Copies of this chain bind each other. A is one copy, B any other.
């Protein structure tokens, strides 16, 4: 339909054997690892990974509050998804919405005390899960390799994602920022309110 890709029917560049095996191993391992982490988190904290990430980002923000759109960028999710997620997190009593004084369109997501407590309770199990299923398995060299490979992919992917949705160009810098700092990091930049 839309010629997003040249329609000239050149020979497909099929994967060779090495690539093919790497490909199967990659899909399988990333999917299983994601599933396992999700599963552990669901069991230990009663929430999906995407919600956990929202709580983490909020907890790292000054005043434990953040503009919706910023939060969407920071968690790599669409505004719609975040809006639904925050609605759910409000029902759970972990997040509260506040209106943004400086921009009356805006709204702030604020982490409640209960939300912070839930996060604190979940965090140790979550780190343990990440260790068990990932870092404990890798040699020091592999840790470096994994990081380098991931960075390579990100250098390619981030510009693509950012340029597609011009409105969410903030994603790129959000991501770059996170890449340069610790996970259990301190405060993030001002949230513009």
Q: Which residues of A contact B (CB under 8 A)?
A: 4-5, 12-15, 17-26, 28-36, 43-44, 76, 123-125, 127-128, 130-131, 133-135, 137-138, 142-154, 156-158, 160-161, 175, 178-180, 182-185
Does B24 lie within 8 Å of A123, measured CB to CB? no
* Contact among B36, B146, B161, B183 for A149, CB-based, below 8 A: B146
* Contact among B26, B34, B130, B133 for A146, CB-based, below 8 A: B26
**Residues of chain B within 8 A of A36, CB atoms compared:** 157, 160-161
Least CB distance from A151 to B in Å reads: 6
Does A32 lie within 8 Å of B149, measured CB to CB? no
Cα(A31)–Cα(B43), bound, Å = 22
Could you jot down 11 A-B contacts, CB within 8 Å?
A: A13-B128, A15-B182, A21-B179, A21-B182, A24-B183, A25-B150, A25-B151, A26-B134, A137-B152, A137-B156, A149-B149
Does B124 lie within 8 Å of A12, measured CB to CB? yes
Cα(A56)–Cα(B34), bound, Å = 22
Least CB distance from A188 to B in Å reads: 13
* Contact among B18, B32, B148 for A161, CB-based, below 8 A: B32
**Residues of chain B within 8 A of A34, CB atoms compared:** 30
**Residues of chain B within 8 A of A135, CB atoms compared:** 15, 19, 22-23
**Residues of chain B within 8 A of A130, CB atoms compared:** 15, 23
**Residues of chain B within 8 A of A32, CB atoms compared:** 76, 153-154, 157-158, 161
**Residues of chain B within 8 A of A19, CB atoms compared:** 135, 143
Cα(A156)–Cα(B154), bound, Å = 26
Cα(A44)–Cα(B131), bound, Å = 37
